[in-house]
Amino acid sequence: MAPNLEDRNSVFDFVVRQGNGVKGLVDSGLSTVPEAFVQPPEERIDKENAIKYDLPPIDLSKLDGHGPDHDEVANQIVRAAETLGFFQVVNHGVPLHLLESLKVSAHEFFSLPPQRKAVYLADVSPSPLVKYGTSFIPEKEKALGWKDYILMQYTNDDEALQHWPQEIKEMLLEYLRSSIGMVKKLLQVSLGNLGVKPDDSMIDVLIGKKMLSMIFYPICLNPDLTLGVGCHSDIGTFSLITR
């Protein structure tokens, strides 16, 4: 049953507690963003006054050799990390067909019936390392985020194959194996800028916990009123974003 859109608790129960998510809310039929998702004015994105940057992609394949190309790319990465904190990379070693397959798998998962996704809600998930939900901490946020997500912490392949969602686990494990080389390159460049020459054991320690998250941002009728994700800091050394 669709929630009463004018009742915040009804919307919260439908989206968060029952696990219908924002997608379920959109699928129920909306003409405007419910009040529970409306951000305070100071938190909204002001496109008119947004700062725009020209960020040419960084070609990671040039890190494979030695010489001026390697040094220039390393400097580009360091400058971007020190100033903006993010950058776009190409020729990163992850097959493009795998990235496209990841997107297909994500859409397949989020298109599942709500009851199939709700088995991964924090209170009932078969593993504390797998969580489906919406918003970061919905119980404490002034306004809910316009997104649904499935988050998985990686310990080993056996645990992942046993507990991760059937629709996405094989693809995510393949992506994890394929992307680790890129992460190591970025770490080596970052540490090299600090005068550190890391060995494999140091790299493994710095990589630390591996987490994978698939996020779905449903179409929004009033994107000026809400946010998919607000200001935050990621807890990891690197966050790799595929879009």
Output phi, psi for 173, to 5 deg. Answer: -65, -40
**Both structure tokens of 149:** 């997500």
pTM above 0.85, yes or no: yes
**Both structure tokens of 213:** 């998250």
Q: Report the C-alpha gap between 237 and 209 in whole angstroms.
A: 10
Domain boundaries, the chain: 8-45+94-180+197-216
Which residue, chain included where needed, has tokens 């690197």?
Answer: 238
Q: Report the C-alpha gap between 99 and 10 in whole angstroms.
A: 37
Which pLDDT score, from 0 to 100, does residue 50 have? 78
- Spell out the residues 6+ positions from residue 60 whose beta carbon is closer than 8 angstroms to its own: 73, 89, 90, 91, 92, 93, 182, 185
Q: Residue 59, CB half-sphere, CA atoms under 13 Å: how many?
A: 8
Largest CA distance in the chain: 63
What is the CATH number that goes with domain 8-45+94-180+197-216? 2.60.120.330
Please, what is the angle between helix 169-193 and helix 96-110, to 10°? 130
**Both structure tokens of 78:** 């360091």
- Could you read off the pLDDT tens digit of each residue along the chain, which spans 243 residues? 678 888 899 999 999 999 999 999 999 988 899 999 999 998 888 888 778 878 889 999 999 877 789 899 999 999 988 888 889 999 999 999 999 999 999 999 999 999 999 999 999 999 999 999 998 889 999 899 999 999 999 999 999 999 999 999 999 999 999 999 999 999 999 888 888 888 888 888 888 889 999 999 999 989 999 999 877 777 777 888 887
Q: Report the C-alpha gap between 127 and 151 in whole angstroms.
A: 11
Which pLDDT score, from 0 to 100, does residue 201 have? 85
Pairing state between β 148-154 and 130-133 = antiparallel
Q: Give the number of residues written for the chain.
A: 243
Which pLDDT score, from 0 to 100, does residue 239 have? 86
213 in Cβ contact with 151 (< 8 Å):
yes
Query: With the CA atoms of 35, 138, 243 and 72 taken in that order, what torsion angle do they form, in degrees rounded to the nearest 10?
Result: 120
176 in Cβ contact with 210 (< 8 Å):
yes
**Both structure tokens of 50:** 């947004």
Output phi, psi for 21, to 5 deg. Answer: 70, 180
**Both structure tokens of 235:** 């807890």
